Amino acid sequence: MLQQSLMADLVTDVPAAVRLQNLVKTLRQHFHCGAVVLLKKEDEALQPVAMHGLVNEALGRRFVVAQHPRLATLMASRNAVLFEPGSSLPDPYDGLLAEQPGNAMPVHDCMGISLYIEGQCWGVLTLDALTPGTFNDQSTVELQRYSLIVEAAIRVGLLEQQVRALRQGQQQTSAGISSAPNQDSEIIGKSQTLHRVLKELHAVAKADLPVLLLGETGVGKELFARELHRYSIRSGKPMIYVNCAALPESLAESELFGHSKGAFSGATSERGGRFEAAHQGTLFLDEVGELPLSIQAKLLRVLQNGEVQRLGSDKPRKVDVRIVAATNRDLQQQVRDEHFRADLYHRLSVYPLPIPPLRDRGDDILLLAGHFLELNRSRLGLRALRLSGNAELALKQYRWPGNIRELEHVISRAAIKLISTGIDPNSISTIEDSTLDLTMPVSAQAQREELNDFTANGAADSLQLLSLRDAVEHTQRQSIRQALIAENGKWNRAAKRLGVDSSNLHKLANRLGIKQ
């Protein structure tokens, strides 16, 4: 009976991801268990690719095998393994079964099996239940048998991928099991919004045009730049990173274009710059809006001529680089304000690509939260770290002005706070919404909207009750937090952004209680 359902899942003409999803669902129903998860091996970790019965955020987690003894046991065996209900080994999904969202319970019954494709370990299949006695020896025999069908489904998916790649005239990988070379993206997320951007990014990657990545702070522009390079025809050559905001004007020219011996005091030897290092590859100009005007002029000349001259040398050197730039500023506005050269802007923005903010990526918020929860769990030596239902809701409703970087900090802060309350690291630790500290309206627009909501609710009178001093301090606190988020916690840069001296900012932050 199960065999028939599984075979039906296997032959149905649906995308590979849906086929695998159907298979795990069918297995869950058959074994009457809480969760079935299919995990793919990626380097030293296992990542869920299909699951049924776990909370959503689990899909974003990467389980490092060495840190999860049950997964390590499964990987080490070619046969199905049953873990006794009394097993003291922690289960990677403790507290993550969706069946009991409000009541974090350790998993009781667990079994699984490693999966092999063309002689190589591809990943594992795990089955978990909260009710002891759900699985027995007979279940492992069945699992062993049905795992062959799961392996067949994976193989079908890979073959489909290869056929698609062949049709597109792409080069194939040799063994055929690692699929397209760039499958294992570092970019976490499954939303339609992200999917659309990645599709566009992969298409423009092949075109070898200059690309300008636009987006709010913390949306992951650097990750997208790396993905672009990996998908480009230059992927075999280096991608060189330049943070334009961290480039002092006095050093920028020699950093970018190199220098000859004796070009300036301290230039004790001849050295090529970042442009030459990126020859035949990609040069990523991060925070390009921060480039001083004098350097903008020199950069433009190199882009026009396709050659660089090392500082102190008059010998031109041909360079073939693809420029990918990124900014969280409104570059067009900067051009209007004459802070950015219009001609350089047009050269860089041949293909502008907006990267969507986190608040527009739906459930990706939870997937990313899962990823950061697992990182913190491992870093802090906890058995299990999860979100309460209300905490999940709060994360989904928040505006995320600092985007993924802010989410990462929120989860890390909450995990540390939880530890400081003296929790037992061997139990299941749950982050409640009250620990999340999501009170920072950051963008001016967000602040305006909040104020509008506030007045629309008839609360303006209570606003007037604030003393002038309280109102000033409130605004100061918000501006400082906003600048710190935008500058990734760097006080010097936040001070620059706020137009105040760095030591004054430290003093003010101390007085306002932002900094202890």
Which member of 98, 177, 223, 423 binds ligand ATP (CB under 6 A)?
Answer: 223
Which member of 160, 222, 270, 363 binds ligand ATP (CB under 6 A)?
Answer: 222
Amino acid at 17: A
Q: How far is the CB of 280 from ligand ATP (least distance, A)?
A: 24
- Name the residue among 190, 180, 181 with its Cα closest to residue 160: 180
Which residues, 6+ apart, have CB-to-CB distance to 280 below 8 Å? 234, 237, 320, 321
C-alpha 293/C-alpha 345 separation (Å) is 12
Reported residue count of the chain is 516
Strand (E) or helix (H) holding 404: helix 403-420
Among residues 34 and 218, whose Cβ is nearest to ligand ATP? 218
Among residues 108 and 221, whose Cβ is nearest to ligand ATP? 221
Q: Which residues pair with 213 in a beta bridge?
A: 326, 353
At residue 464's C-alpha, the angle toward residues 459 and 469, to 5°, is: 135
Is residue 179 a contact partner of residue 341, using CB atoms and an 8 Å limit?
no
370 binds ligand ATP, rule: CB under 6 A:
no
Which member of 187, 263, 335, 451 binds ligand ATP (CB under 6 A)?
Answer: 187
48 binds ligand ATP, rule: CB under 6 A:
no
C-alpha 234/C-alpha 207 separation (Å) is 11
Q: How far is the CB of 433 from ligand ATP (least distance, A)?
A: 22
Residue the block writes with tokens 């993206």: 185
Is residue 213 a contact partner of residue 355, using CB atoms and an 8 Å limit?
yes
Is residue 154 a contact partner of residue 116, using CB atoms and an 8 Å limit?
no
Among residues 259 and 409, whose Cβ is nearest to ligand ATP? 409
72 binds ligand ATP, rule: CB under 6 A:
no
* Count of residues touching ligand ATP (by CB under 6 A): 18
Among residues 288 and 308, whose Cβ is nearest to ligand ATP? 288
Strand (E) or helix (H) holding 182: none
Q: How far is the CB of 406 from ligand ATP (least distance, A)?
A: 9
Interface segment toward ligand ATP; rule CB under 6 A; list 69-77, 210-218, 266-274, 464-472: 210-218
218 binds ligand ATP, rule: CB under 6 A:
yes
217 binds ligand ATP, rule: CB under 6 A:
yes
219 binds ligand ATP, rule: CB under 6 A:
yes
Q: How far is the CB of 356 from ligand ATP (least distance, A)?
A: 10
Interface segment toward ligand ATP; rule CB under 6 A; list 221-229, 336-344, 417-425, 498-506: 221-229
Amino acid at 388: S
Q: How many helices (H) and strands (E) does the chain have?
A: 19, 17
363 binds ligand ATP, rule: CB under 6 A:
no
Q: How many CB atoms lie within 10 A of CB 77?
A: 12
Restricting to residues 326-345, which ones interact with ligand ATP according to CB under 6 A? 326, 328
Interface segment toward ligand ATP; rule CB under 6 A; list 117-125, 187-195, 200-208, 317-325: 187-195
Restricting to residues 382-411, which ones interact with ligand ATP according to CB under 6 A? 404-405, 408
Q: How far is CA 81 from CA 234, 353, 372, in A?
A: 45, 48, 29
- Name the residue among 289, 386, 278, 270 with its Cα closest to residue 345: 289
Beta strands per DSSP E along 15-99: 35-42, 45-52, 63-64, 81-83
Among residues 48 and 220, whose Cβ is nearest to ligand ATP? 220
Which member of 92, 95, 123, 215 binds ligand ATP (CB under 6 A)?
Answer: 215
- Name the residue among 147, 181, 146 with its Cα closest to residue 161: 181
Q: How far is the CB of 371 from ligand ATP (least distance, A)?
A: 6
Q: How far is the CB of 375 from ligand ATP (least distance, A)?
A: 10
Q: How far is CA 115 from CA 8, 80, 112, 152, 412, in A?
A: 20, 10, 10, 10, 34
C-alpha 318/C-alpha 263 separation (Å) is 20
291 binds ligand ATP, rule: CB under 6 A:
no
Which member of 189, 273, 281, 357 binds ligand ATP (CB under 6 A)?
Answer: 189
Q: How far is the CB of 221 from ligand ATP (least distance, A)?
A: 3
188 binds ligand ATP, rule: CB under 6 A:
yes
Among residues 125 and 188, whose Cβ is nearest to ligand ATP? 188
Q: How far is the CB of 91 from ligand ATP (least distance, A)?
A: 25
C-alpha R_g of the chain:
27
Among residues 28 and 221, whose Cβ is nearest to ligand ATP? 221
Q: How many CB atoms lie within 10 A of CB 381?
A: 10
Interface segment toward ligand ATP; rule CB under 6 A; list 13-21, 77-85, 115-123, 214-222: 214-222
Among residues 177 and 187, whose Cβ is nearest to ligand ATP? 187
482 binds ligand ATP, rule: CB under 6 A:
no
- Name the residue among 367, 446, 353, 443 with its Cα closest to residue 408: 367
C-alpha 359/C-alpha 132 separation (Å) is 40
Strand (E) or helix (H) holding 325: strand 322-327
288 binds ligand ATP, rule: CB under 6 A:
no
Query: Per-residue x/- mask for ligand ATP, residues 307 to 326, rule CB under 6 A?
Result: -------------------x
C-alpha 476/C-alpha 480 separation (Å) is 6
Which member of 221, 229, 230, 274 binds ligand ATP (CB under 6 A)?
Answer: 221
Q: How far is the CB of 166 from ligand ATP (least distance, A)?
A: 29
289 binds ligand ATP, rule: CB under 6 A:
no
Contact positions toward ligand ATP, by CB under 6 A? 187-189, 215, 217-223, 287, 326, 328, 368, 404-405, 408
